[in-house]
Amino acid sequence: MFFSRPSGAERWNKDIVLLPHDRVLSRTLIPFIPPWIRPNHITLARLFLIPLDLYLLSVDNYPWGVPLFLLIAFSDALDGSLARVRRQITEWGIIYDPVVDKLFIGSVLYLIVLQHINYALGMTLLLVEAGIIAFGWYRARHGRIEPANVWGKIKMVTEVAAILLLLIAVWLKIDMLTDISTSTLALALIFAVVSVLTRIK
């Protein structure tokens, strides 16, 4: 089952290097998470929250939609830290966690970003995200399953920051943040390409 730790994932649970935010969460939030809650539970919860957030944003309910966007984005950092701190990395999580993340980012890009920034930039980023999913599935089918690299993590953080800036700009009518968001998305596109190139071997 995907909630358990398959034997094939043991190699990813050896010699884990904790990231700075892993150490922070291990001393603050993670101790309050019951042992029966596993990282993949959080991934699935994020998946089910995406439609709700899309609905709130689509009806311009930003006072609820923006905080929920932040919660969903934070849950991505939380499940990764929980997996590393408790050594609960699984093949299911390695494959499907980034898929859920890309569904989340891609759907908000399509719903909000393409309406307010450079359309070509938004579509290019969507196509790159789709290509990353296809590339990941191809590698998984050929037995080459690897956790996200540092460039992929930086890309995700940059995308979340860019979209958050745009949501705030639309919500509070701050035009300057729209320009900053566009530049940040362009940076995220660069990180996305680098992430793919560093995985090609």
Q: Can you tell me the distance from the alpha carbon of 51 to that of 42, in angstroms, rounded to the nearest whole number?
A: 16
pLDDT given at position 142: 64
Q: Output 51 or 155, whichever has higher pLDDT.
A: 51
Share above pLDDT 70 across residues of the chain, in percent, rounded to a whole number: 88
Residue range 51-104, pLDDT digits in tens: 999 999 999 999 999 999 999 999 999 999 999 999 998 888 888 898 899 899
Cβ contact 57:69 at 8 Å:
yes
pLDDT given at position 70: 96
For 123-151, give the DSSP string. Answer: HHHHHHHHHHHHHHHHHHHTT------HH
Residue range 116-130, pLDDT digits in tens: 888 888 888 888 888
C-alpha torsion angle, residues 43, 47, 49, 51 (rounded to 10): 170
**So where are the chain's domains?**
7-199
Q: Average pLDDT of 98-115?
A: 90
Confidence class of residue 107 from pLDDT cuts 50, 70 and 90? very high
Q: Average pLDDT of 162-191?
A: 93
Phi then psi dihedrals of residue 189, to 5 deg = -65, -40
For residue 10, pLDDT over 90 is answered with no
pLDDT given at position 1: 46
Residues 6+ apart with CB under 8 A from 22: 80, 81, 84, 85
The first and second tokens of residue 153, run together, are 């993590």
Q: Can you tell me the distance from the alpha carbon of 85 to that of 33, in angstroms, rounded to the nearest whole number?
A: 12
Classify 7-199 by CATH class. Answer: mainly alpha
Cβ contact 168:63 at 8 Å:
no
The secondary structure of residue 4, as a DSSP letter, is S
Give me the helices (H) in the chain, please: 20-27, 39-58, 62-85, 91-108, 114-116, 119-141, 150-172, 175-199
Q: Average pLDDT of 154-167?
A: 93
Mean pLDDT of the chain: 87
pTM greater than 0.85 (yes/no): yes
